[in-house]
Amino acid sequence: MQPGSGSVGRRSGTFIEAARRAQIIEAAIVAVNEHGYAGASLSVIAARAETSKSVISYHFDGKEELLAQVVEQVYGEVGELIIAAVDAADSWPGKLEAYVRAELGYVRDHRERILAANEIVISHRDADGTPLYLQGGGEETALLENLLQRGRRAKVFAPLDVKITAVTIVHAIDGAITEAQRDPGLDLDRYGDRLVPLLLRAVGAT
């Protein structure tokens, strides 16, 4: 399942249709958080959206496409937030900090959305049994790798292995998301206050 596939183009031509799609996506987020990936059936999502399965089927080619759209929308929101934050920072250490804090900030402000998207990414498998999180081509670390590479070239960061460092940082942020799921009261701003200096030391920021 690839986010963005299916019948999006031919069924989102009017404002009313777009609003209905958005309503269904929001209902799917709630359903996944309440019932898990397996339990979030079209019937459950329809009930949450106060509509019918036939209406959902008009807008989406089944549960898989609907949940793919949840992932695409949520991760798209995260990506836009990160890019804006990184672009606004004026140093390479500042850009790395902005990257981390932007993602943690999204988790802080939109906890239910990111938890639902992650549940889908972890749980869905394609026809060959490949999990959704293994189907990408490394796009999730591309911005971070570019940031690290340019900081290294500027001799602001140590001569590190860009790929390994990017993956490590991504997993460090994922760890914060896991902790937020385990502890709904987790202070993610304070978490960032402790994580950012650790990561800056790891990359040898000057």
Mean of the per-residue pLDDT values for the chain? 89
Give per-residue pLDDT as tens, 145-199: 999 999 999 999 999 999 999 999 999 999 998 998 889 899 999 999 999 999 9
Judge whether residue 50 has pLDDT over 70: yes
Judge whether residue 123 has pLDDT over 80: yes
Q: How far is CA 141 from CA 35, 128, 135, 196, in A?
A: 30, 25, 14, 17
pTM of the entire structure? 0.84
Q: Tell me, what's the pLDDT at 11?
A: 47
Asked if residue 151 lies in contact with residue 89, where contact means CB atoms within 8 angstroms, the answer is: no
As a whole number of angstroms, the distance between CA 21 and CA 47 comes to 15
Q: What is the 8-class DSSP label of residue 60?
A: S
Asked if residue 83 lies in contact with residue 20, where contact means CB atoms within 8 angstroms, the answer is: no
Q: How wide is the angle at C-alpha 151 spanned by C-alphas 147 and 154, nearest 5°?
A: 145
